[in-house]
């Protein structure tokens, strides 16, 4: 069975001091959780420090983005090897805010994905439609395009190392969560797409998270859906009680 994975995306929130306080609370509140992967994605500047704090805990570390080159003259960028030596196991790729505000494309997502895998990082690849696209009825076309271009030339045996996060852009930070049924419909579509383009066995092994206004009071309905394997949590991951409650509610079946 697929192990649920709950990731907290802190975005550009929390000073190091505030982050330290949050991590201490989470370690205390979640120390006994065993059957769920718990991941925190703080800002770059906090990674190495928080990696030390998380050592020998059940909480894993991820970054919010990366560059696809190993090194080079790319002022302001961070590479896969740098994330790896800062203690990261995961990296978000193609978050809708990167696509919307920083020119991320399916092509750059694809390059970052390959680099993450080459560097031993588990990529969490974010895809999803905006409100206009949903209203136009092109959600599935867009999802299949994001998958096709984003996963281009990724070898089948690497697929299960990749996590896909379905995040409808209209539900991010808006308080408008997709209903569990709306989310399940797209998750099922993604799994069917993986099955057609890779194999049904690989599709069954791949974890697909939902993201967009996940809160303690809506996670149970989402996680109960057959094809929802966890959540990528923004706002609610900034508060220890609400993130812990989401993790605890995320046991499958």
| CA 199/CA 138 separation, integer angstroms | 25
Q: Which is nearer to ligand PGA, 62 or 211 (CB)?
A: 211
Give helix 240-248 / helix 16-30 axis angle, nearest 10°.
40
Q: Closest-CB residue for ligand PGA?
A: 234
Total residue count of the chain as it appears in this document: 253
Instruction: Find the shortest distance in angstroms from Cβ 157 to ligand PGA.
Output: 28
Instruction: Find the shortest distance in angstroms from Cβ 75 to ligand PGA.
Output: 26
User: Most distant CA pair in the chain: distance in Å?
Assistant: 49
The residues binding ligand PGA (CB under 6 A) are: 9, 167, 172-173, 211-214, 232-236
Instruction: Find the shortest distance in angstroms from Cβ 173 to ligand PGA.
Output: 4
Instruction: Find the shortest distance in angstroms from Cβ 138 to ligand PGA.
Output: 21
Q: Which is nearer to ligand PGA, 87 or 234 (CB)?
A: 234
Question: Catalytic: which of 97, 129, 167, 249?
Answer: 167
Burial readout 20-56 (b: 16 or more C-beta within 10 A, e: otherwise)? bebbeebeebbeebeebbbbbbbbbebbebbbebbee
Q: Which is nearer to ligand PGA, 190 or 203 (CB)?
A: 190
- Indicate if 97 belongs to the active site: no
Which residue from 176, 207, 178, 173 is spatially nearest to 191, judged by alpha carbons?
207
Q: Which is nearer to ligand PGA, 198 or 250 (CB)?
A: 250
What DSSP state is assigned to residue 61? E
In 174-226, where does DSSP find H-type helix? 180-197, 200-205, 219-223
- Indicate if 167 belongs to the active site: yes
Strand-pairing partners, residue 211, are: 232
Instruction: Find the shortest distance in angstroms from Cβ 196 to ligand PGA.
Output: 27
| CA 38/CA 23 separation, integer angstroms | 12
Instruction: Find the shortest distance in angstroms from Cβ 104 to ligand PGA.
Output: 13
Question: Catalytic: which of 95, 97, 104, 249?
Answer: 95
Q: Which is nearer to ligand PGA, 116 or 236 (CB)?
A: 236
Q: Which is nearer to ligand PGA, 64 or 206 (CB)?
A: 64
Tell me whether strands 163-166 and 230-233 are parallel, antiparallel or unpaired: unpaired
Angle subtended at Cα 71 by Cα 69 and Cα 73, rounded to the nearest 5 degrees: 100
What amino acid positions are annotated as catalytic residues? 95, 167
């Amino acid at each position: 069975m697929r192990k649920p994975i709950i990731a907290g995306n802190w975005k550009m929130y929390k000073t190091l001091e505030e982050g330290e306080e949050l991590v201490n609370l989470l370690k205390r509140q979640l120390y006994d959780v065993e059957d769920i992967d718990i991941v925190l994605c703080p800002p770059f500047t906090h990674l190495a420090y928080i990696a030390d704090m998380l050592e020998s805990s059940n909480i894993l570390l991820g970054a919010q983005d990366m560059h696809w080159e190993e090194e080079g003259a790319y002022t302001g960028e961070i590479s896969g090897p740098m994330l790896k030596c800062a203690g990261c196991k995961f990296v978000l790729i193609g978050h809708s805010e990167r696509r919307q505000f920083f020119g991320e494309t399916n092509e750059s997502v694809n390059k970052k994905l390959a680099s993450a895998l080459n560097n031993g990082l588990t990529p969490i690849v974010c895809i999803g439609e905006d409100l206009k696209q949903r209203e136009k009825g092109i959600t599935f076309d867009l999802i299949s395009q994001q998958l096709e271009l984003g996963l281009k030339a990724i070898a089948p045996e690497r697929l299960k190392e990749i996590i896909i996060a379905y995040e409808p852009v209209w539900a991010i930070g808006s308080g408008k969560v997709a209903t569990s049924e709306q989310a399940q419909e797209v998750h099922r579509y993604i799994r069917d797409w993986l099955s057609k383009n890779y194999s049904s066995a690989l599709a069954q092994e791949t974890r697909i998270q939902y993201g967009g206004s996940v809160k303690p009071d809506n996670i149970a309905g989402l996680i109960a859906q057959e094809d929802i394997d966890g959540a990528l949590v923004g706002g609610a991951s900034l508060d220890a009680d609400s993130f812990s409650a989401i993790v605890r509610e995320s046991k499958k079946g």
